[in-house]
Amino acid sequence: METLKIGLTYTGTDAKHNNYVNWLQAAGNVAVTSLVAGKITADEISKLDGIVLSGGIDVHPEMYHNENINYPNAPAEFHPERDQFEKMVFDLSQEGAIPVLGICRGLQLINCIVGGTLVQDLGEAANSQHRFDKTDKKHDIQIEKGSLLNAIVGEEEVTVNSAHHQAIDRLGKGLKISARSGDGVIEGIEWENKPGKSFLIAVQWHPERMEHVGLQDSPASIKIRNHFINEIKQFRKS
């Protein structure tokens, strides 16, 4: 069986990055290429079989046309070069019909790229359920019946991990919501009209490290990865 080549954007630390690598490679016959600005060409990206846009530091507010950089829990510094590089990666994936999986920051970035905006900070009450605090939080989400995510996971309510303080505000063009948490935070997005578009799902949780909170057997981790891998295999055949 030919090895699948998956591009993974670098999340910021080797330990976190390796969570993604190990998770993807557990599916077998997967080679992961780290995607870092200045270290890979557009031509090399275009030849990948799949793309994962990973988590990490907040997207710079300029990506969603907001001038406020001093909001609660804002990072000490942003990485706009990463934002622009990953926008290029996403644009190339759409040009080449390459399957894409967005995770946490990846979901937020995709929303911004297609014209959406973000809630800059969820606030103290919501952060108590969603924001990382020594370890990931856990909460239930409701998955939209009939969505692609519903078809993949096979359930309408699951427990997921959580490590974010921002969320989608205005939904980007062409997207639809596939999941929400109990307090209304958008937890999943996908294309509204899928015909003619490449595979895309994005989730606000971290399927690559759910074992950290005892959710290693969750369909919101295993089934998402396996379906993504199957979509890549179909893409390779096309």
Q: Which residues are catalytic?
A: 104, 206, 208
**What tokens does 105 get?**
């920051």
Asked whether 1 and 49 are in contact (CB, 8 A), the reply is no
Secondary structure percentages of the chain, helix, strand, coil, to 5:
35, 25, 40
State how far the Cα of 21 lies from the Cα of 43, in Å rounded to an integer.
22
State how far the Cα of 159 lies from the Cα of 127, in Å rounded to an integer.
17
- Burial-class residue 135 by CB neighbours within 10 Å (0-12, 13-18, 19+): exposed
Torsion of CA 40, 43, 49, 52, to 10 degrees: 40
Q: Residue 98, Cβ neighbours under 10 Å: how many?
A: 25
Which residues are within 8 A (CB) of 190 and not within 5 positions of it... i.e. 6 or more apart? 147, 148, 149, 175, 176, 178, 200, 201, 202
Instruction: Please state the φ and ψ torsions of residue 139, each to the nearest 5 degrees.
Output: -160, 165
**What tokens does 12 get?**
């910021």
Which residues are within 8 A (CB) of 115 and not within 5 positions of it... i.e. 6 or more apart? 172, 173
